[in-house]
Amino acid sequence: MEPVQLAAILSGTVLLASMVSVEIGVSVALIELAFGVVLGNTFDLNPDASWLVFIASFASVVLTFLAGAEVDPDDFRERFWASIAIGVASFAGPFVVATLVAMGPLGWSVKASLIAGTALSTTSLAVVYAVLVETGLNTVRVGKLIMSACFVTDMCTVIALSAIFIKPTVWFPVFLVVSVGLIVALPRIAPWFFGRYGDRVIEPEIKLVFAILLALMVLGQEANSQAVLPAFVLGLVMSRHYRQHRKEQERLRVVAFAFLTPFFFLRGGMNVSLGAVFANIGVLAVLAAAKLVPKFGLVSPLARRWVPEHATFTTLLMSTGLTFGTISALYGLQAHIINRTQFSLLVTVVVLSAIVPTAIAQRWFSPDVEAERADDARMRLVPDRKGRGVAEPVPAPEGAAR
């Protein structure tokens, strides 16, 4: 099939996915992924066409950059130790268990098992955010803690994903130095660059971000590594700038979601073999358990310590996954670390983990936001010795009845 023919079919599918997404209120990414599965299993389309592989790879790096840029670092500081503990446990438990399960009973290679561990340890900040905003919980302590913990898990995921691929070449130090240099320099030059060249229809600020991300991809490739970690950190250090310049972030998002990310999710779906999934339902169940059981085993006790009334809600939301799980699996497939069957199983578990825990959390365990607001009013954040926020009850006024 000619590239233009494949592009036309996929573009039509992307358009249809957007319309369905608006009509039924489900994220366009999930619809694109689902439509990709239908296309891949119904028609003889090539998900490995070079242009599609390139756009999907670039989209994954842009998505990672956006994930970093959308985080509010000030929120993260509010409950530092609780976020770190829950976030790290949420990553480490499933990472270790899923890796060992894949390596042992399932007989996957070490690298394939590490990809399984990474893909299944993720938590979807965006899925969680939608639930919290919808209920107003993003403005109360429990919601902020969950968001911060999700961010910590995301950070662990990108570190793991980068570490798995490292087979240092002579280019690795160059990749490292350039990454650190950009992370230090971009937030400093951005105000000048965006002020001088920004806010024009030719969008130099988007071109700057794309040029930097592509340079990181090239160096990452030469260094036998991945640009995912520097892209995420770069987004993170730019988040404060974007917070003050919302329009710039919106335009970047528009370009990414209109042209890049649809092909990433479609390609992800096209690589899922439904036959392989149905033929390995038992393996699917084992992988799902390898994700969920350690999440409950480790996150739940910690959540019970910091948010005792909402430990199950917190644990369920920390069990979700979508974007980083898909990115991890697709990286593994692209690098021929995992095969199509393994990819299909991992992506299916990731998608199910976006849907099932969210639905259960919303239906049965959603906290009452008004009660949480009232509860928050009785607490205050005080800085610890390092200036990080710790919650403590507001002391009763002198003379108040006890």
- Residues interacting with other proteins, by CB under 8 A? 21, 25-30, 63, 66-67, 70, 124-127, 129-130, 133-136, 249-250, 253, 257, 261, 265, 322-323, 354-355, 358, 370
* Shortest Å, Cβ 111 to other proteins: 26
Amino acid at 83: S
Which residue(s) pair with 382 in the sheet? 390
Q: Cβ contacts of residue 250 below 8 Å, gap of 6+? A: none
End-to-end C-alpha distance for the chain, whole angstroms: 78
Which residues face 383 on adjacent strands?
A: 389
Beta carbon nearer to other proteins, 67 or 103: 67
Return the amino acid letter for 257. Answer: F
The nearest distance, CB 134 to other proteins, in angstroms, is: 5
CB of 130 or CB of 218, closer to other proteins: 130
Provide the minimum distance between the beta carbon of 256 and other proteins in the complex, in angstroms, as a whole number.
8
Instruction: Evaluate whether 331 touches 161 at the Cβ level (below 8 Å).
Output: yes
User: Of 285, 288, 313, nearest to 299 (Cα)?
Assistant: 313
Least separation in angstroms between CB 59 and other proteins: 10
Closer CB to other proteins, 60 or 225, in the complex: 60
CB nearer other proteins, residue 262 or residue 294: 262
Specify the DSSP class assigned to residue 281. H
Contact assessment for residue 164 and residue 96, using Cβ atoms and an 8 Å cutoff: no
- Give how far Cα 78 sits from Cα of 22, 59, 81, 399, Å: 35, 31, 9, 31
Residues 6+ apart with CB under 8 A from 399: none
CB of 173 to other proteins, least distance (A): 33
Query: Three-class SS of residue 266?
Result: helix
CB of 309 to other proteins, least distance (A): 18
**Is 34 or 101 the residue whose CB approaches other proteins more closely?**
34
Instruction: Report in angstroms how near the CB of residue 250 gets to other proteins at its nearest.
Output: 7
State which residue, 197 or 257, has the beta carbon closest to other proteins: 257
Nearer to other proteins, 49 or 356 (CB): 356
Helix, strand or coil, per DSSP, at residue 123: coil
Q: How far is CA 111 from the centre of its chain?
A: 21
